[in-house]
Amino acid sequence: MTDTSAKAPVPRASVLKIAPYIPGKSQASGVDPKSGKVFKLSSNENPLGASSQAVAALQASSHLEDYPDGSSTRLRNAIANAHGLNPDRIVCGSGSDEILSLLSYAFLDDGDEAIYTEHGFLVYKIAILAAGAEPVVVPERDYTAHVDDILAAVTGRTKMVFLANPNNPTGTYIPFNEVKRLHAGLRPDILLVLDGAYAEYVRRNDYESGIELVANSANVVMTRTFSKIYGLANLRLGWCFGPEGVIDAINRIRGPFNVNGAALAAGEAALADSEHIAKSVDHNELWLKQMGDTCKALGLDVTPSVGNFLLIHFPSDNQHPAEQADAFLQSRGVVVRRVAAYGLPNALRITIGTEEANLAVLTALKEFLSR
C-alpha cells in the first residue's frame, strides 16, 4: 500500500538557489508581428544569418532515423584543421552552455568554490549551483575583470575559475598577458575556464582566445560556440579544447549523442565559409563604432565593446530610465535585452543588427531621450 504521507522528492539545496535563466525576448510588447516590423536585438545573433553553405548542408541532412556520430568526428577534425589543434583534445556539445555545465559536474563537488566576475554570464552561476558548489562573485573594475581581484578571491576551496573573454553582457576583455598572469597565479588543481563565445569578433592585437595557453597547460580549457558569428544558434552547437584529462572527464559524462547530425553538418560547412565570417566581422566593426558613437552623442554612457553588442547606460536621475527606455523601444518594434539580472538595472544590451535594425534603434533612442 502506498504511503501517502511520505514527502515528495526534494532536489539538492543548491538547485533551489538557482534563478532560472530567462533568455532575451523575441517579440515586442504591443506590436503585432504580423502587421508591424519587429527587430530582435536581444540575443546577440548574427544579423547576416547563417552561411549559405551551412544552410545547404542543413537542408541536405537526411537519415533522420539514424543516430548521429556520437564522437562528432568530422566536425572535430574540421575544427582542428581550422585552428591547428589535436582533434583528440576537442569535445563538441549542444551549445557551449552544455560544456560549461559538464565541466562543473566533472570538477566541482559539494563544498567547493568556483569564481566568476560580477557581470559574468549567468550560466556560470547556474552550472556551479547545479553541481552543488558555491559561487564566488568577484567585483569588476569599469565593467572589466581584474586579475588581482580574482586571485585575491581564491581560497583553499576554490576548484574552478570562469572567465568570459570577451565578457557578456559588458563586451569588455582583458589582454592575453593578463590571462596568462591569472593562470600563473592559480594552483595547479584549479581549472581555468576561458569562455570565448565572442572570440571571432575581436580585432585587438593584445587579444588571444586561449588556444596557446590550453595547448601548454594541464588546467586550462577553452569553450567556443557556433551560435554567434556562425549564425547557428537555433541548432545549439559548441565545442571546447582542453587537456587530455579534462577531455576524458567530459567524455565520461556527456550524453552519447549529445549533438544532432544536422548541427554537425551545418557546423562543418559554416566553419569552411571564410567569406561569410569575414563579412560578419566587417559588418560588426562598422556598426559597432557607428552605434557607439551615436549613442554617446545622444548623451548615453557606452561601455567599450569588442563583441557584437553594446552595453548602454541611462542617466540615474530618473527612477527607472532603462526600464522605460526598453518599453519605449518595444513600442517601436525594437527588442533589446534588459540586464538587471546581471546587476545592471540601469543599462540595456543592444545587439548589432542589420543596417535597418540599427537605424531603427538609434531613431527610437533619440525620440525617447528627447521626450
- Tens digits of per-residue pLDDT, 68-90? 999 999 999 999 999 999 999 99
Give pLDDT tens digits for 270-282.
999 999 999 999 9
Confidence tier at 349 by pLDDT (50, 70, 90): very high
Q: Angle at CA 157, nearest 5°, toward 151 and 162?
A: 50
pLDDT at residue 28 in the model: 63
The answer to whether residue 30 scores a pLDDT higher than 70 is no
- Determine how many CB atoms are found less than 10 A away from the CB of residue 8: 4
Residue 81's SS3 state is helix
Give pLDDT tens digits for 98-137.
999 999 999 999 999 999 999 999 999 999 999 999 999 9
pLDDT at residue 223 in the model: 98
Confidence tier at 371 by pLDDT (50, 70, 90): confident
Average pLDDT of the chain is 94
Confidence tier at 293 by pLDDT (50, 70, 90): very high
Among the residue ranges 251-255, 298-302, 317-321, the one predicted with the least confidence is 317-321
Find the mean pLDDT for residues 23-52: 80
pLDDT at residue 17 in the model: 83
- Nearest-Å Rg of the Cα atoms of the chain is 21
**Gap between the Cα atoms of 133 and 110, Å rounded:** 5
The answer to whether residue 320 scores a pLDDT higher than 90 is no
pLDDT at residue 9 in the model: 85
The answer to whether residue 239 scores a pLDDT higher than 60 is yes
Where, residue-wise, is CATH 3.40.640.10 in the chain?
A: 52-272
Residue 250's SS3 state is helix
Secondary-structure breakdown of the chain: helix, strand, coil percentages, each rounded to the nearest 5: 40, 15, 45
**Gap between the Cα atoms of 43 and 23, Å rounded:** 7
Using CA atoms, how far residue 209 sits from 204, 228, 320, 338, in Å, is: 11, 15, 37, 27
The answer to whether residue 367 scores a pLDDT higher than 90 is yes
**Gap between the Cα atoms of 147 and 137, Å rounded:** 13
Find the mean pLDDT for residues 336-357: 96
Cell numbers representing residue 94 in the block: 549542444
Fold classification of 52-272 is: Aspartate Aminotransferase; domain 2 (3.40.640)
The answer to whether residue 25 scores a pLDDT higher than 70 is no
Q: Are 193 and 103 in contact (CB under 8 A)?
A: yes
Using CA atoms, how far residue 69 sits from 5, 75, 198, 263, 265, in Å, is: 47, 10, 27, 11, 11
Q: Identify the CA nearest to 45 among candidates 285, 263, 227, 270.
A: 227
Give pLDDT tens digits for 172-193.
999 999 999 999 999 999 999 9
Fold classification of 24-49+275-369 is: Aspartate Aminotransferase, domain 1 (3.90.1150)
pLDDT at residue 44 in the model: 97
Confidence tier at 317 by pLDDT (50, 70, 90): confident
Which residue, chain included where needed, has cell 568570459?
164
For residue 142, the 8-state DSSP code is: T
The answer to whether residue 39 scores a pLDDT higher than 60 is yes
What are phi and psi for residue 62, nearest 5 degrees? -145, -165
pLDDT at residue 360 in the model: 96
Q: What percent of the chain has pLDDT over 90?
A: 88
Cell numbers representing residue 43 in the block: 540575443
C-alpha dihedral, 321 to 324 to 329 to 332, nearest 10°: -140
Confidence tier at 41 by pLDDT (50, 70, 90): very high
pLDDT at residue 279 in the model: 98
Find the mean pLDDT for residues 42-71: 96
Where, residue-wise, is CATH 3.90.1150.10 in the chain?
A: 24-49+275-369
Is residue 65 classed exposed, middle or buried when 0-12, 13-18 and 19+ CB atoms within 10 A define those classes? exposed
Q: What percent of the chain has pLDDT over 70?
A: 94
Confidence tier at 19 by pLDDT (50, 70, 90): confident
The answer to whether residue 285 scores a pLDDT higher than 80 is yes
The answer to whether residue 287 scores a pLDDT higher than 90 is yes
pLDDT at residue 277 in the model: 98
Q: Are 195 and 116 in contact (CB under 8 A)?
A: no
Q: Angle at CA 146, nearest 5°, toward 130 and 315?
A: 90
Find the mean pLDDT for residues 303-314: 97
The answer to whether residue 35 scores a pLDDT higher than 60 is no
Taking the model in full, what pTM does it have? 0.93
